[in-house]
Structure 1
Amino acid sequence: MQYNDISYQTDGRIARITLDRPERLNAISMDMPGEIADAVARANKDDDVHVIVLTGAGRAFCSGYDLVEFAEEEGEKPGSQLGDSHGGPWDPMLDFYGMFQNTQNFMSLWKSYKPTIARVQGPAVAGGSDIALACDMVIMADEAVIGYPPARVWGCPTTAMWVYRLGAEKAKRMLLTGDLVSGPEAVELGLVLESVPQEKLDERVDALAARMAGVPKNQLMMQKLMINQAYENMGLNNTQMFATLFDGITRHSPEGVWFKQRAEEVGFKQAVRERDSGQPIAEGVSRPLSPYKSGK
């Protein structure tokens, strides 16, 4: 496969996948999720590879879905299906079909028979956090940040890995605020494995990868399958199905439609500032009477 938005190389027993759109802070394009899955499959088929390291080019790990492509440009776009080409209503199953494929592409890192390490040297936000948290282990630079700001409006993390890494209360703390946390804060929460100074990041990631690379592939595979099965028994796939459906709803709720319209009108950066300002949004958005207000 010829890659447009990632690069792939091997170094002895280590395969390295790099999200490679540095001019867009490695924002997720239409092609990137499938390219990640293809590169993971390629590494799994390579008998010489024992470990996969995933990182981003430039100063960011991944800034999430490219909001210029998906939100700012006018008209119907994947992820903002305001009616099909025939003028019909939003089809939640059509939305689910596309987004769940992206979810599965990201989860190829989790399901990989060979262990995966996310090297997070810069922001891993929104869909970028989905990608990082789908890896078996995450090593962050102290200065890097991770979080899911679209939890405020226009998103639900489709991989749902927050709850499986943090537990209910800490996952709610992150997803009911949309806050970003630094590397040390992420370690304290239990979200990622380690945080190190930026200048020590490559040394630590390479040392961990090399340590695992010395283990036979069949041993790595068995240990990983055993641990992952425990999460499958907890309903991981079912949770991701709900999360992906809810993600579609968040993008087509009254507030979600407002966000898309504001991104078209004033650009996504200003729309994000308004979304995250803490002030009421979407004035004039019509909605039925809330059951909370009616006392029902």
Structure 2
Amino acid sequence: MSYETLTYAVEERIARITLNRPERLNAINEAMPGEIRAAVDRANDDDGVHVIILQGAGRSFCAGYDLKEFAEAETPYIQEMPWDPTLDFRHMKANTDDFFALWRSYKPTICKVQGHAVAGGSDIALCCDIVIMAEDARIGYPPARVWGCPTTAMWVYRLGAEKAKRMLLTGDLIDGREAKAIGLVLDAVPAEQLDDRVAALAARMAGVPRNQLMMQKLMINQAYDNMGLAGTQTIATLFDGIARHTREGMAFKKLAEKEGFHAAVALRDSGAPIPDDID
């Protein structure tokens, strides 16, 4: 198979899926969600694979949705008013389900994070079973300030209510050290040790029979299903569409079109009040 946005390789029972848009910090475009799912399915269909590592080429894991594509230009994720929320839901639910192939995978998934796992990039990372970060890497969901809601909804399931609120009511980024300290990720190590730490954990898992890995993972995941994960993702995905069509959300899009997404993001993350209109 050939891919536009990632590469796929297998060695010693480990499949490596590498997001491969380094010139855009592996930002998510229209093709990437479906290709992630296809690569995960490919690994699950291969009896020679026991473990999947998800990583990003270059200096960042994933900088979120490509705002050059989605904020500055026309996009199906922003409609003229009145808007159809069911159309928006169909688009975003498809992406959510594609990312969640990592969680639903019968084989363990380990995410390696260097640089950034931001916005939609954090959605992807937190869909993996285990996340290991470089200590100086950053993770968070800044669109929680305006124009977004994390559709995979994994923040609350990994952190609990209070710490999830701390992250999503501010949109702050935290580094790997803090992410480990609050239990968001399994480990954070110096950047020069990241590859070895991930490889060692994957190798340890790769020695376990596939059936054992599958049973343990399914048993743990069903506990989250019983906690209402599917329903939480439904409302999060609906809210994500609503967030893009509020007065403030439309103003953010207008600013991105007018002055570029860097200016819009700078205002969003500045701490200043979010405007509900842009002249």
Asked if these proteins are the same fold (TM beyond 0.5), I'd say: yes
CA gap 1:283/1:227 in 2 versus in 1, 3 angstroms: closer
**1:83-102 counterparts in 2 under 5 A?**
89-102=82-95
Q: Which whole-Å deviations, capped at 9, do the CAs of 1:2-31 have from their partners, x for residues lacking one?
A: 210011010120000001000000000000
Q: Which whole-Å deviations, capped at 9, do the CAs of 1:29-60 have from their partners, x for residues lacking one?
A: 00000000000000000000000000000000
**1:207-222 counterparts in 2 under 5 A?**
207-222=200-215
Deviation at 1:79? 1.8
Q: Tell me the equivalent position of 1:59.
A: 59
Give the letter aligned to residue 216 of structure 2: Q
Contact 2:251 2:277 in 1 (8 A): no
**1:14-25 counterparts in 2 under 5 A?**
14-25=14-25
Deviation at 1:78? 2.5
Question: Which of 132, 140, 144 matches 1:139?
Answer: 132
- Separation in 1, partners of 2:95, 2:207: 32
Deviation at 1:283? 5.1
The alignment's TM-score, normalised by the length of structure 2, stands at 0.98
- Separation in 2, partners of 1:281, 1:170: 23
Q: Tell me the equivalent position of 1:176.
A: 169
Contact 2:146 2:274 in 1 (8 A): no
Q: Tell me the equivalent position of 1:166.
A: 159
Q: Tell me the equivalent position of 1:80.
A: 78
Deviation at 1:284? 4.7
- Separation in 1, partners of 2:257, 2:172: 24
Secondary structure of the corresponding residue to residue 225 of structure 1? helix
CA gap 1:61/1:267 in 2 versus in 1, 3 angstroms: same
- Separation in 2, partners of 1:267, 1:80: 16
Q: Tell me the equivalent position of 1:282.
A: 275
Give the letter aligned to residue 168 of structure 1: A
- Separation in 1, partners of 2:44, 2:189: 28
Q: Which whole-Å deviations, capped at 9, do the CAs of 1:93-147 have from their partners, x for residues lacking one?
A: 0000010010000000000000000000110000000000000000000110000
Give the letter aligned to residue 62 of structure 2: C
Q: Tell me the equivalent position of 2:48.
A: 48
- Separation in 2, partners of 1:169, 1:281: 23
- Structure 2, unmatched stretches of 5+, are none
Comparing 273-282 with 164-173, greater Cα deviation is found at 273-282
Q: Tell me the equivalent position of 1:36.
A: 36
Question: Which of 249, 259, 278 matches 1:266?
Answer: 259
Deviation at 1:192? 0.2
- Structure 1 runs of 4+ aligned residues shifted over 3 Å read none
- Structure 1, unmatched stretches of 5+, are 84-88, 286-296
2:3 aligned with 1:10: no
The alignment's TM-score, normalised by the length of structure 1, stands at 0.92
Contact 2:248 2:276 in 1 (8 A): no
Q: Which structure has the larger Rg over C-alpha atoms?
A: 1
Question: Which of 95, 99, 106 matches 2:99?
Answer: 106
Deviation at 1:280? 2.5
2:122 aligned with 1:124: no
Secondary structure of the corresponding residue to residue 100 of structure 2? helix
Give the letter aligned to residue 163 of structure 2: K
How many pairs were matched up? 278
Secondary structure of the corresponding residue to residue 65 of structure 2? coil
Contact 2:14 2:51 in 1 (8 A): yes
